[in-house]
Chain A
Amino acid sequence: DSGVTQTPKHLITATGQRVTLRCSPRSGDLSVYWYQQSLDQGLQFLIQYYNGEERAKGNILERFSAQQFPDLHSELNLSSLELGDSALYFCASSARGDGTNEKLFFGSGTQLSVL
């Protein structure tokens, strides 16, 4: 158990809909990272937050947004969903927000299916 909690584990929705994925980082970790994993694109970095502030942005679509709350949990909002958004979405956390120099702890992911 990594200590990172993601909910829900599975989500099935229709095109055009909006969903929210939730992540609670490991106790004491200040930084949260969101990744999208699909068969064709592999593991893509989406966005990183550190202590409530956006720190780095990757290949995140404009239809997607995220935030980190004062209690450090994070939410990833996906809107106007398309079939191609079907993927496994991972949240990871780290202590200092320096993911290149410290290990990341991953949650078990949210499997999103857009029908």
Chain B
Amino acid sequence: SQQGEEDPQALSIQEGENATMNCSYKTSINNLQWYRQNSGRGLVHLILIRSNEREKHSGRLRVTLDTSKKSSSLLITASRAADTASYFCATDAGYGGSQGNLIFGKGTKLSVKP
């Protein structure tokens, strides 16, 4: 079953604009991760935010986490055509402990037009 659900399912913007993607999850988590997937390729890790963190930055990426609302957002600033990809949030299965396996949402498909 899906733990995280991304919103929107698809997003189309112009180069230079900001892109915001949201993720909601169902049960308590230890951490939340964001991954990127270029069409048909393997996923690439972007950022990990721990449950006791509220915001984290990495280059043009900003991730927020609101554990009270069970939600996270990924902001890509000054987007580029090369940012065109699908973006996934991933959390642990919520079973407690460290089972080590990540559960992925269905992703947001971002299209950045030049």
Identify the A interface with B (CB < 8 A): 2, 4, 31, 33, 35, 42-43, 45, 48, 50, 55-56, 58, 88, 90, 92, 94, 97-109, 111
A56 in contact with B99 given A42-B2, A43-B104, A100-B30 (CB within 8 Å): yes
Instruction: Given A31-B100, A48-B100, A55-B100, check contact A100 B92 (CB 8 Å).
Output: yes
Q: A43-B88, A45-B103 are in contact. Are A103 and B33 (CB under 8 A)?
A: yes
Check B99–A105 contact: CB distance below 8 A: no
**Which residues of the partner chain A approach B2 to less than 8 Å between Cβ atoms?**
42
* B102 touching A45, Cβ below 8 Å: yes
| 69-99 of chain B: CB within 8 A of chain A | 88, 91-93, 98-99
- Is B31 an interface residue, CB under 8 A from the partner? yes
Task: Say whether B101 contacts A109, CB under 8 Å.
Answer: no
Contact partner of A50 (CB less than 8 A), chosen from B30, B48, B100, is B100
Provide the bound-state CA to CA distance between A109 and B42, in Å: 6
A100 close to B45 (CB less than 8 A):
no
Chain B positions within 8 Å of A105 at CB level:
45
Any chain A CB within 8 A of the CB of B10? no
